[in-house]
Structure 1
């Protein structure tokens, strides 16, 4: 387990989350499966540059996150103080794991927030997207910006272990998970990353490294990968590399239902219907995505970030 991580357990009290704006946060049918609400969100690093300074954006960010109440939230670009603000705004039921890409609290994070009522971390680690992945702050593939990934093995507190071929929850719902599969253990991996914005070679090497590192994790456990990949889905070799060989599927394409599509990077300009998705939630093939959404929330015209959050309701 890495020793450089900042693990943020939230102590500050906050008001309860507002009711969800749509079915994303309320899509939990009473069938015992307890779907997991997942979000990936490039936060846009905190700055004082108006009209989209962090001080101006924070109220919209707070309202959005309280409204959607994700169980699992992969963030990109957040600075340490900004992540502390978000932790405070989310309230005492959330904690987070991450480390600055320059080490400790320095530079941007690829942090993972989680609802402690639903998820408990079992182990975690970080690696840098370079030829020396365990050298803090390393970059060797032509990118001038440090890039990294954080992963966590979670225990899902909303599931029960499989005994005798079926979980207690699946028995109540009339279903079954034959054979005592490890999928019933209630554990899974979450990996969060942010690939380079400029160098394709770096992105391709990064995708290969992420695949290699995930291949060394317990193959019996499902995966959820969140990130800003800085390339459009279906339009770049990086996308094919991440999904190649059936390792992962795109939750957007696999979803039983989905919202309207917009370009997920808008740069505070008018939204682009049908635009490119550069922010993805990928999952193991056997993970079912009930619903996927690109959230266009703004508060009185103020977007929380220069990216739109991408969400999925998943189960296995």
Structure 2
């Protein structure tokens, strides 16, 4: 189906609303976060570090999206926005990154806070193909929690086309990443598979200095690439790390969004 437009997927850790004040306060960042999304126009938008009181701000500023999300807990969740003219969400299943995935709100293993993933079965209206997507945010403090979260996610997938998207808090050399991507991992890293790559190699920039531009001392081959789009049964036409800044030359979040253009892989 060469005439079908690529499916554009974006992952973006938007940073908790309660961590900052002054120019970094959520009220001063939310317009720029939403504008970044609108500039790149993803068909699927996977967000992390979204507290329940942040999502209404994003719904208001991104009216073209419907949302698949966990609705009950008061802490962080991982909402998935999607364009209804392109995709239909056939099933939505939030689950805990914890020994009992049904125990949403539980803190798993040595994690610092409860972590909730969002799994969606999508149907692409342009191709009539279905695929599974899981949006995750692995724990930043618990090494065991990251390893076990990777195992849990890996075991949930069957042979269907699938995407694992989000903030793994793990670099490419780490055990959790390797268990998902390298043999016998079920996924391919979109950055490695892309026909075209653009933007910095790292995705976490922080709010101290921020610079990812030419002239900084960052090494994109070794530094903090922790946000991913991992694919199975998709071809990757484009991978971009979007180093957008606002009018004050600040990044809207302490993470850079990752944007990929995908096509369903044909038969071997």
Q: Tell me the TM-score normalised to structure 2 length.
A: 0.89
| Cα offsets for 1:279-310 (capped at 9, x unmatched) | 000000x3100000000001121321110001
Contact 2:15–2:50 under 8 Å retained in 1:
yes
Cα offset, 1:34, TM superposition? 2.0
CA distance in 1, matches of 2:138, 2:90: 26
Structure 2 counterpart of 1:190, from 126, 130, 133: 133
Structure 1 residue 263 corresponds to structure 2 residue 196? no
Match of residue 209, structure 1, among 147, 152, 170: 152
User: Could you say what the CA RMSD is over the residues aligned between the two structures, in angstroms?
Assistant: 1.6
Where in structure 2 are there 5+ consecutive unaligned residues?
A: 213-217
Instruction: Return the match for 1:132 from 100, 105, 111.
Output: 100
CA contact (8 A) 2:7 2:43 kept: yes
Residues in 2 aligned to 1:40 and 1:291: alpha-carbon distance in whole angstroms: 14
Answering whether residue 175 of structure 2 is matched by residue 237 of structure 1, we say yes
- Secondary structure of 1:58's aligned partner: helix
Q: Whose radius of gyration is greater, 1 or 2?
A: 1
- Residues 1:117 and 2:85 are matched in the alignment: yes
Rounded to whole Å, the distance in 1 between the matches of 2:3 and 2:257 is: 27
Mapped partners of 2:59, 2:101: distance in 1? 28
Higher normalized strand content (fraction of residues): 2
More helix by share: 1
- CA distance in structure 1 between the partners assigned to 2:185 and 2:156 by the alignment: 16
Q: Structure 2: how far apart are the matches of 1:58 and 1:195?
A: 23
Q: Point out 4+ residue stretches in structure 1 off by more than 4 angstroms.
A: none
Q: Secondary structure at the match of 2:147?
A: helix
Among 70, 83, 93, the residue aligned to 2:42: 70
Pairing 1:51–2:19 present = no
TM-score by length of 1: 0.76
Unaligned stretches of 5+ in structure 1? 1-29, 161-185
